[in-house]
Amino acid sequence: MTGRLKLTGQLLALACVAGLLALLVWKLTHQEHAPRVGAVAPGFTLQRLGGPGTVSLSSYRGRPVVLNFWASWCNPCKGEAVVLQRDWTRYRSRGVVFLGVDYHDLAPDARRFIGAHELTFPMLEDGSGQVTGRYGIHQVPETYVLSRQGRVVAHLAGPITAPGFAADFRDALAKAAA
Amino acid sequence: MILRFAAVVVAALALAGPAAAACSHPRTSLTYLEGQVMCPTCHTTLDQSNSAAAQQIERFISQKIAACWTSERIESALVANYGPAILAAPPHKGFDLLAWWLPIVGVLAGALVLAFGVWRWSRRGGSEPEEPSDSGLDEETERRLDDLLARFD
């Protein structure tokens, strides 16, 4: 009787250890990383910010996409917004799509931000951060430039107005729009 | 001077009275909610964070407290905006109940295992068999050995 109890206890302990190991392996293999240049950008469908309906990234396949992650509480995003709006008006005639993804933000504050900066390109809300997580976003602003095939042409982890990024952004836009 | 002071007190009471009376329930506090709500960018509670995102949520909470919102209503609004992960503790319903019950079940199971172990150990201790003789020989061999040794005495 005691032998069987001992064996059951040992099997239970083993099962617990195996379960914990499985959890560790699952966590390690499911960590989210930023998609690399050349990789296909993760697809998503998000609610429009300040408007009805949703927007899917896949619906823009065949057109270059500038995917900008921002938040109203982010100071560098303010300076960047002006440049993004200017580039959007410049490149939209060439078929380039600009999408803003609002990250971990309160919707009313985000709407005020859009109004204050007179941004007219489509804005999507990702309050829970699910999509931004798949893009490996840990700070804002960050911008991805995607090719017509939905592949990453450039990933700029910082404001596109930064000295190092301004030229990279223009080059990536030209490359994606070509 | 006294009249002036009295006028200030009356004015303050006149202003504060309606504001305090506007809430039909006890007001929740920012300090309480700061411990219940997470900062979405730094993954700590608001009271542990000084990030811009945390400050934005604190401003939102302060506004809603001033507008007499209950803590439950404020938390619901935050969940609607950020998702359930904005709360420091999981809700007491559905699958999330596991997070509340599993630790209790674990502690109880541990206590049971411990109690069983102690019970078995105490039982074994009570009916411990007598120690065998130091030589480890049976009685017959021991007797013959004694006889043999007696010849040399």
ipTM of the complex: 0.79
pLDDT, tens only, B14-33: 544 444 557 888 899 999 99
Residue B28's domain comprises 8-89
Reported pTM: 0.72
pLDDT, tens only, B49-107: 999 999 999 999 999 999 999 999 999 999 999 999 999 998 777 877 788 888 899 89
Q: How far is B68 from chain A (nearest CA, A)?
A: 19
pLDDT, tens only, A37-87: 999 999 999 999 978 999 999 999 999 999 999 999 999 999 999 999 999
Which residue among A2, A104, A109 sits closest to B41, beta carbon to beta carbon? A104
Q: How far is A139 from chain B (nearest CA, A)?
A: 8
Number of domains comprising chain B:
2
Among A131, A138, A75, smallest CA distance to A99 is for A131
| B51, B112: one domain | no
Per-domain boundaries in chain A: 1-31, 35-177
The whole-chain average pLDDT of chain A stands at: 91
Question: How many interface pairs between A and B have CB atoms less than 8 angstroms apart?
Answer: 35
Q: In whole angstroms, how far apart are CA A81 and each of A88, A119, B4?
A: 10, 7, 53
Other residues' Cβ atoms within 10 Å of the Cβ of residue A135: 23
Rg (CA), chain B: 37
Report residue A141 as tokens: 């602003």
| B52, B96: one domain | no
- Give the CATH number, domain containing residue B27: 1.10.8.640
Residue B82 to residue A9, Cβ atoms within 8 A: no
Chain A partners within 8 Å of B52 (Cβ):
71, 73-75
Residue B81 to residue A2, Cβ atoms within 8 A: no
Asked if A73 and A108 count as a contact pair (C-beta separation under 8 A), the reply is: no
* Residue of chain A minimizing CA distance to B52: A73
Burial string for B121-144 (b: 16+ CB within 10 Å, else e) reads eeeeeeeeeeeeeeeeeeeeeeee
Asked if A109 and A85 count as a contact pair (C-beta separation under 8 A), the reply is: no
Please calculate the CA angle A96-A142-A150 and round it to the nearest 5 degrees: 40
Tell which CATH architecture fits domain A35-177: 3-Layer(aba) Sandwich (3.40)
What pLDDT is recorded for position B11? 54
